[in-house]
């Protein structure tokens, strides 16, 4: 009975250690039920796999251990390949510590029969201390998505460490030479040092790749700013041209009224009223000069490409959000909407933009037509249909990052040939 209680305690302790290990590098899943269920499954596996309960072949035990550590990763949010890498790293650390403890046992003349419970506890205690040190060192460092080729290369390191340490231990345990056991201990310590270095290398590599991604995003955003300036200049030139033409039209209208050609004057006035540029250039007029300029520029760009653009704005002239952030969000979203209509050759292209500010919340809804075909990357994320593959997904990624900056929410609704982007931003000073 006491042995059963001890085994359950060790199983729960093991689940806690691996949970804390993942929690150092990943965010916990919001699905609490899934988290509890996965932890229970892992504890059951730990109890069943204990040597005093079942005897598994060492290779089968190793493979199953890695698989169940991967199962624990379901409790967390993050790139799948990253979680698999860290599952292998954790198993390698666990195995190296067990081999080190076993080597010390044998070196000091203790029997392996007495190792089971006490040895398992010492291994878990050592692993627990190591995980806590990692959590202090990395301070909940979020693992970024890095290229698959780097993940594959890094995966070889822990597997190599496990292989070398395991077979060194097997050979030394069968040897009568005491030096061989000390050699096994030294090799385990060296491999532990290699694994520690790998942690630093993996996180640094992730940070470097994330920095590169942000630089690419910055370059794209600067291109967007330049494009906005060009669209604004084009809009102003068109407005000046319209104003110039309007002066001549008014002079002609004045001549008609002087000559009492009233019917012709009325007909000409009706033609002027029907001219879209007369009111279309200022579709956004909220006194918020930044948003008005951006929306009007995108409106002109859309209309010139045959897209119906409808706008509903209910915002004050002064918003508690960074103007550059709003430019990136609206600019990327509207560019994607225009692109979906133009590149996909939609029959009846349209864009509906709605922006409302209420009690510290900025609600942005952009609905547009598209051809019904959704492009996704290898991770299932929605991307654009740009021919430039390097820039795929950066627009939505930029929007998501800024939405998170304001503790907001972003949701995409897709219904046949309708694409709808819902965004809500919270004023952090109010929330």
Tell me the Ramachandran region of residue 109: left when phi exceeds 0, alpha when psi lies from -120 to 50, beta otherwise: left
One domain for residues 188 and 140? yes
One domain for residues 161 and 222? no
One domain for residues 194 and 253? no
In angstroms, the CA 45 to CA 384 distance is 44
Task: List helix spans (H) across 50-79.
Answer: 58-72
One domain for residues 256 and 377? yes
**Residue range 104-118: mean pLDDT, rounded:** 62
Number of structural domains found in the chain:
2
In angstroms, the CA 355 to CA 408 distance is 15
**Residue range 128-153: mean pLDDT, rounded:** 67
Enter the tokens of residue 340. Answer: 């979906």
Q: Give every CB contact of residue 392 below 8 A, 6+ residues apart in sequence.
A: 375, 377, 383, 384, 386
In angstroms, the CA 51 to CA 62 distance is 13
286: three-class secondary structure by DSSP: coil
**Residue range 343-352: mean pLDDT, rounded:** 83
Is 293 within 8 Å of 232 (Cβ atoms)?
A: yes
pLDDT beyond 60 at 407: yes
DSSP secondary structure letter of residue 154: H
Residue 212 placed within a domain? no
Identity of the highest mean pLDDT range in 83-87, 148-152, 238-242, 284-288: 83-87
Q: Which domain holds residue 74?
A: 2-207
Q: b/e per residue, 3-31, with b = 16+ CB within 10 A? A: eeebbeebbebbbebbbebbebbbeebee
CA 260 and chain centroid, separation: 69
Enter the tokens of residue 67. Answer: 């698989």
Enter the tokens of residue 317. Answer: 């002239």
Picking from 391, 344, 356, the residue whose alpha carbon sits closest to that of residue 286 is 356
Enter the tokens of residue 86. Answer: 């860290």
One domain for residues 182 and 294? no
Of 178, 207, 236, the last residue of a domain is: 207
**Residue range 395-414: mean pLDDT, rounded:** 84
165: three-class secondary structure by DSSP: helix
The mean predicted confidence, pLDDT, of the chain is 76
Question: Model confidence over 161-189: pLDDT tens digits?
Answer: 777 777 677 767 666 676 776 777 788 77
Residue 213 placed within a domain? no
> What does DSSP say about strands 350-358 and 308-314: parallel, antiparallel, or unpaired?
parallel
Of 179, 207, 235, the last residue of a domain is: 207
One domain for residues 322 and 391? yes
Is 161 within 8 Å of 194 (Cβ atoms)?
A: yes
Residue 37 placed within a domain? yes
419: three-class secondary structure by DSSP: strand
Provide the percentage of residues in the chain whose pLDDT is more than 90: 9
Q: Give every CB contact of residue 31 below 8 A, 6+ residues apart in sequence.
A: none
Q: What is the pLDDT of residue 278?
A: 43
Residue 431 placed within a domain? no
Q: Between 111 and 159, name the one with better pLDDT.
A: 159
In angstroms, the CA 370 to CA 414 distance is 10
One domain for residues 195 and 334? no
pLDDT beyond 80 at 283: no
DSSP secondary structure letter of residue 389: G
One domain for residues 369 and 249? yes
What are the backbone dihedrals phi and psi of residue 125, each rounded to the nearest 5 degrees, phi first? Answer: -65, -45
Q: What is the CATH number of the domain that holds 403?
A: 3.30.565.10
In angstroms, the CA 249 to CA 345 distance is 36
Structure confidence at residue 387 as a pLDDT band (50, 70, 90): very low
In angstroms, the CA 103 to CA 362 distance is 63
Q: Give every CB contact of residue 145 below 8 A, 6+ residues apart in sequence.
A: 79, 81, 82, 206, 209, 379
């Amino acid at each position: 009975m006491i042995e059963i209680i001890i085994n359950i305690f060790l199983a729960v302790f093991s689940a806690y250690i691996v949970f804390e290990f993942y929690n150092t590098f990943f965010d916990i899943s919001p699905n609490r039920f899934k988290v509890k269920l996965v932890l229970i499954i892992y504890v059951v596996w730990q109890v069943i796999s204990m040597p005093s309960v079942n005897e598994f072949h060492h290779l089968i035990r190793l493979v199953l251990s890695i698989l169940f550590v991967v199962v624990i990763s379901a409790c967390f949010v993050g790139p799948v390949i990253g979680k698999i890498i860290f599952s292998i790293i954790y198993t390698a650390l666990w195995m190296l510590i067990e081999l080190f403890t076993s080597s010390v046992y044998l070196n000091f003349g203790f029997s392996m029969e007495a190792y089971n419970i006490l040895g398992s506890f010492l291994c878990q205690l050592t692993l627990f201390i190591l995980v806590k040190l990692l959590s202090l060192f990395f301070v909940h460092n979020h693992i970024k998505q890095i290229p698959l080729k780097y993940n594959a290369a890094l995966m070889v390191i822990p597997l190599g460490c496990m292989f070398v340490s395991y077979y060194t231990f097997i050979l030394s345990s069968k040897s009568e030479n005491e030096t061989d056991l000390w050699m096994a201990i030294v090799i385990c310590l060296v491999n532990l040092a290699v694994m520690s270095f790998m942690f630093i290398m993996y996180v640094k590599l992730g940070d470097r790749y994330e920095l590169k991604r942000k630089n690419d995003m910055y370059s794209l955003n600067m291109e967007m700013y330049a494009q906005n300036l060009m669209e604004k200049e084009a809009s102003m030139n068109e407005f000046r041209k319209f104003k110039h033409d309007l002066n001549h039209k008014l002079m002609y209208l004045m001549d008609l009224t002087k000559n009492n050609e009233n019917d012709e004057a009325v007909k000409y006035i009706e033609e002027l009223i029907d001219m879209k540029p007369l009111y279309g250039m200022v579709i956004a007029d909220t006194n918020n000069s930044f948003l008005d300029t951006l929306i009007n520029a995108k409106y002109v760009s859309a209309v010139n490409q045959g897209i119906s653009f409808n706008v509903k704005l209910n915002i004050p002239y002064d918003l508690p959000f960074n103007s550059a952030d709003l430019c990136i969000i609206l600019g990327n979203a509207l560019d994607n909407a225009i692109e979906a209509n133009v590149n996909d050759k939609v029959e009846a292209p349209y864009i509906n933009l709605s922006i409302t500010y209420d009690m510290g919340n900025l609600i942005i809804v952009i609905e547009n037509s598209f051809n019904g075909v959704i492009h996704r990357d290898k991770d299932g994320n929605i991307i654009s249909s740009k021919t430039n593959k390097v820039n795929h997904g950066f627009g939505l990624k930029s929007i998501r990052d800024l939405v998170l900056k304001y503790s907001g929410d972003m949701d995409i609704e897709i219904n046949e040939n309708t694409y709808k982007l819902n965004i809500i931003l919270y004023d952090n000073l109010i929330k």
